[in-house]
Amino acid sequence: MYRGWHQVAFTREFSSDDIFPVTIGDLPLVLVRTPEGIRAFDATCPHRGAHLGYGGQLDGAAIICPFHGHRITLGSETKSQFLVRGYRTLEIGGLLFVLVSEHHENGFTDYMNGLAQSYHFVPGFVLTATVSPEYVIENAFDPDHFKAVHGVNNRAEIRLRPSEHGELAGENVFLVNRPNPWQAPTSEEGAVQLRFLARAFSPTLVATELGDGQYRHVVITAATPTPDGNCVIRVSAAVAFGPNGELPNVDVVRYLLRDSRKAFEQDMVIWEHLVQKAPQQYTPGDHPVVAYRKFCQRFLDREKV
């Protein structure tokens, strides 16, 4: 599995219980509600392997294991006989992320906190895809598929930008049909330009900026791996506050998420029938995809998490 950031839930999915089980690929985790916010820990009991998220009871800074009743300390207290490791979490705007390895933070926390200063986060929709997560995020760096699958009017080159914090960034300008409510108004006839900037912070997480200025919106896409090798897609929007700090126009949010969902449903047709192990014969125009695949290699879990 990949060691970077993963979105494990919308906070609306987190029940009123103090603990909640989630998985990232084959890594079982338990989310714990604490006075400092929701935290994530390994869910496998170090005594005999029970899952602490199913039947475990929170007891201060520990979980009472449902199998044998041992007190399992949450964190790194070395005096405890049984303890489980914690992971950094980021809970922001109704979105909940877990960082599996501190080596791959890649500036994501600062990026999201920066957005929160002037943007309103809107948790969007959830889809299940029968494809591994890297195919979902890869689409942001695949120039040819935008025209073939989504019907944009040009095949613009995706230009890779220098990395600032270890993330992978690529930008483009698309020609699209007359703008929707979330795009800048124009009196021009026919296709209009749309700025596109994708930032992948891990192989399973990309923030895509669409448009410029006050019409710059961000779509946050997470593809969290499931134990069967597929993934759960969560898509959210970040839309700028009004000039006086008022909430964004509801229609802007609605149409942005509607168009995002439509695009993913178009992709689903491809993913459902994709032969994932087929040989890859890249063309020169696929260089952003090749760069993304090399980016993914940096996150491979060659050691036990």
User: What pLDDT, in 10s, does the model give residues 71-100?
Assistant: 999 987 667 789 999 999 999 999 999 999
Burial class (CB in 10 A: 0-12, 13-18, 19+), 278: exposed
With beta carbons less than 8 A apart as the criterion, state whether 197 and 190 touch: no
Nearest to 172 by CA among 155, 152, 157, 150: 157
pLDDT digits (tens, 9 = 90+) for 177-200: 776 788 888 767 777 888 999 999
Residue 191: the pLDDT is 77
pLDDT at position 303 over 70: no
Q: SS3 for 111?
A: helix
CA 116 to chain centre: 16
pLDDT digits (tens, 9 = 90+) for 25-51: 999 999 999 888 899 999 999 999 999
Q: Which two tokens stand for residue 288?
A: 């952003």
In the chain, DSSP finds a helix count (H) and a strand count (E) of 5, 17
Over residues 294-298, the mean pLDDT reads: 96
Q: Which two tokens stand for residue 234?
A: 């969560």
Over residues 126-135, the mean pLDDT reads: 96
Residue 283: the pLDDT is 94
pLDDT at position 302 over 80: no
Q: Tell me the pTM.
A: 0.93
Supply the DSSP symbol for 58: E
Question: What number of CA atoms fall less than 13 Å from residue 94's CA on the CB side?
Answer: 14
With beta carbons less than 8 A apart as the criterion, state whether 166 and 106 touch: yes
Cβ-proximal residues to 205 (8 Å cutoff; 6+ apart), any chain: 4, 5, 6, 7, 97, 108, 137, 220, 221, 222, 223
Q: SS3 for 269?
A: helix
pLDDT at position 211 over 80: yes
What distance in Å separates the CA atoms of residue 220 and residue 200, rounded to the nearest whole number?
Answer: 10
Q: DSSP string of 3-53?
A: -SEEEEEEGGGS-SSSEEEEEETTEEEEEEEETTEEEEEE-B-TTT--BTT
Over residues 212-230, the mean pLDDT reads: 94
Give the domains, in start order, of the chain with CATH numbers: 5-104 (2.102.10.10), 120-297 (3.90.380.10)
Question: What number of CA atoms fall less than 13 Å from residue 269's CA on the CB side?
Answer: 9
